[in-house]
């Protein structure tokens, strides 16, 4: 077999100049775990779309990254998650925006791709579709971390806008 897998895992404002040893180790461990998950699928003859879903689910569950658990807060103090998936063999695609109760939004995006006639679902409707599909639901508190709350509080204290890309919390 011949397969390849790449992953990226954004951790907000941390760069090589600002990251500490614990954060560095956590990020690297998370990326390695995602590679393990995706590689296992591909090495077993699985499809590319199965592999990217598996890898992203691991990163969504890892609080080191801004997705799923560990995602950033909105201005109002909520967490709204976005995800997309696309199969290059068929150019089928699915996506969700501003979902709040699905543990793994990438899996919900895949259900949009496979089990709906649509490409992009958003907000309450997407949450409802997720529940109807039997996808794992979770209390939104599960996504929250103290560090992301601190970053929101810091941003509000600075009275800067959410589109200050130099601050780059997200």
Partner 1 sequence: TVGAVARDAAGHVAAATSTGGLTGKRWGRIGDAPLIGAGTYADDRAAAVSATGAGEYFIREGVAHEICARVRLAGAPLREAADAVMAETRELGGRGGVIVTGPDGETVYSFTTPGMYRGRASAEGARSVGIY
Tell which positions 97-116 bind partner 1, by CB under 8 A.
97-98, 105-106, 109
What residues numbered 38-57 form the site for partner 1, per CB under 8 A?
A: 38-39, 42-43, 45-49, 51-53, 55-56
Buried/exposed code over 37-70 (b: 16+ C-beta within 10 A; e: otherwise): bbbebbeeeeebbebbbbbbbbbbbbbbbbbbbb
Exposed / middle / buried, residue 126 (Cβ in 10 Å: 0-12, 13-18, 19+):
buried
Supply 146's token pair.
């103290």
Residue 60 engages partner 1 in binding (rule: CB under 8 A): yes
Build a one-symbol-per-residue string for 6-45: x at contacts with partner 1 by CB under 8 A, - elsewhere: xxxxxxxxxxxx-x----x--xx--xx-xx--xx--xx-x
Shortest distance in whole angstroms from residue 73 CB to partner 1 = 6
Exposed / middle / buried, residue 112 (Cβ in 10 Å: 0-12, 13-18, 19+):
buried
Residue 71 engages partner 1 in binding (rule: CB under 8 A): yes
Residue 148 engages partner 1 in binding (rule: CB under 8 A): yes
Shortest distance in whole angstroms from residue 131 CB to partner 1 = 19
């Amino acid at each position: 077999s011949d397969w390849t897998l790449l992953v990226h895992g954004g951790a907000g404002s941390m760069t090589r100049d600002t990251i500490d040893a614990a954060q560095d180790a956590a990020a690297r461990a998370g990326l390695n775990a995602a590679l393990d998950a995706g590689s296992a699928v591909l090495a077993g003859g699985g499809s590319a779309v199965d592999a990217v879903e598996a890898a992203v689910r691991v990163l969504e569950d890892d609080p080191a990254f801004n997705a799923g658990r560990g995602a950033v807060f909105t201005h109002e103090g909520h967490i709204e998650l976005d995800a997309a998936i696309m199969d290059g063999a068929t150019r089928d695609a699915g996506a969700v925006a501003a979902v709040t109760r699905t543990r793994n939004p990438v899996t919900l995006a895949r259900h949009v791709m496979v089990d709906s006639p649509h490409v992009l679902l958003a907000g309450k409707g997407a949450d409802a579709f997720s529940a109807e599909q039997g996808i794992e639901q979770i209390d939104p508190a599960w996504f929250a971390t103290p560090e992301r709350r601190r970053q929101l509080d810091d941003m509000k204290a600075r009275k800067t806008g959410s589109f200050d890309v130099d601050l780059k919390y997200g």
